[in-house]
Structure 1
Amino acid sequence: MAQGRFVVYLRVSTQKQGRSGLGLEAQQRAVTDYLNGGAWSVAAEFTEIESGKSDTNRPQLQRAIQACRVYGARLLIAKFDRLSRDAHFLLGLEKAGIEFVATDNPHANRLTVGIMALVADEERRAISARTKAALAAAKARGVKLGGDRGATLSTEAKAKGVAALKARADSRAADLAPIVADLRASGATSLRSLAAGLNRAGIAPPRGTTWSPMAVSRTLARIDTLSSPSPRHRAA
């Protein structure tokens, strides 16, 4: 029985299939059957007409992944092969924290990505064990472990920390950009109406529990910065 929030992703390989709706109808029916019962909601739905051979030229898939991050939802697809046949791409979803469910085999993600993730996890365990052994040996030699012992962050380390925070905020703004655009297209033009729309959608704000006009203003400023050409490009 389905539980939680989902983002639906449908794909057909040809324009003919897209126009006829035959391929999409079958996928929609599979998704409807899967969601028959349970406590669930669909945050967004995306349809792609693109060959499965390419994972880079699939804008609707990228929007669906962004929506999963924004809404904290799982990606729901009708058939496992509608998502991707590339194991590296699927593992990338797992590393990005994107969970997905295929209605024709709800455990497909565990049978594929899960196996690769277990291999990586075993390697992390081995590294952790070696690190602990090295620390234990150092402690046995009398080396003092733990605490900063008066250490201070270098200017370079502080700069890297700031850059990491900025990159995370930029990534979040990029994920929110298409949703904000949709809200504006539907008539939400003021900061207050945009905040209300984001709150209705159940999207978590950067801080606190609800969106405020000020939080929306800061996010819009970051989105504008990301979409603006660089100074070098403007000079050219």
Structure 2
Amino acid sequence: MTSYVEYYRVSTEKQGRSGLGLEAQQEAVRRFLREGDTTIKPPFVEVESGKKTDQDRPQLAAALDACRKTGASLLIAKLDRLARDVAFIATLMKSDVRFVACDMPEADPFRLHIEAAIAEEEARKISQRTKAALAAAKARGVKLGGYRGYDLTEEQRGRGLDRSAEVRAAGADQRAASLLPVIATIQAEGITSMGGIAKALNDRGIPTAAGGQWHPMSVSRLLKRLAA
């Protein structure tokens, strides 16, 4: 028989679609617990603010304190993205409290700390590549930011260029450039497959240029345009 202190984290934005909804996590805990296991009440629920210092996670500190007082293990319903958070893993390592994650039961603090450090370095590199790509797009004349339409120059009108084709091409370039930071953020979270990126974009409520859902092929076309 094992005693646990439950720790949940929820987001104030798009809880259900992001998979961070409290009910989904509670269900994961129910599936994880075995007959005879007990949980110390009440559970601790953290509302994520986007910040990642110890002071910004008071419920985590309280949960760890409860573990020390009762000898229970910390039970985390959903670790995945927190596994890439160096500050969070460092807090666990310093706590001398045993923890178990329902979605990553084989995880241990030392291994996670290494993975978090690697992910942090990869995020830094992606940020550098994003800045370079944005600078290159700007140098090609692409207007960065949200797409607001496109007007041909007088010179282009004078040459009699096909306005419709120019508008479509420029609009696609601007749309791709506006999504570049989002793609970089998704990749920094360890999501690199076409299908994974498509799902992440859909989960964020970001439609395609046509207003539809993302699919691996549409993500592939987007990345090719960004790399052009």
TM-score of the aligned structures, taking structure 2 as reference length: 0.42
TM-score of the aligned structures, taking structure 1 as reference length: 0.40
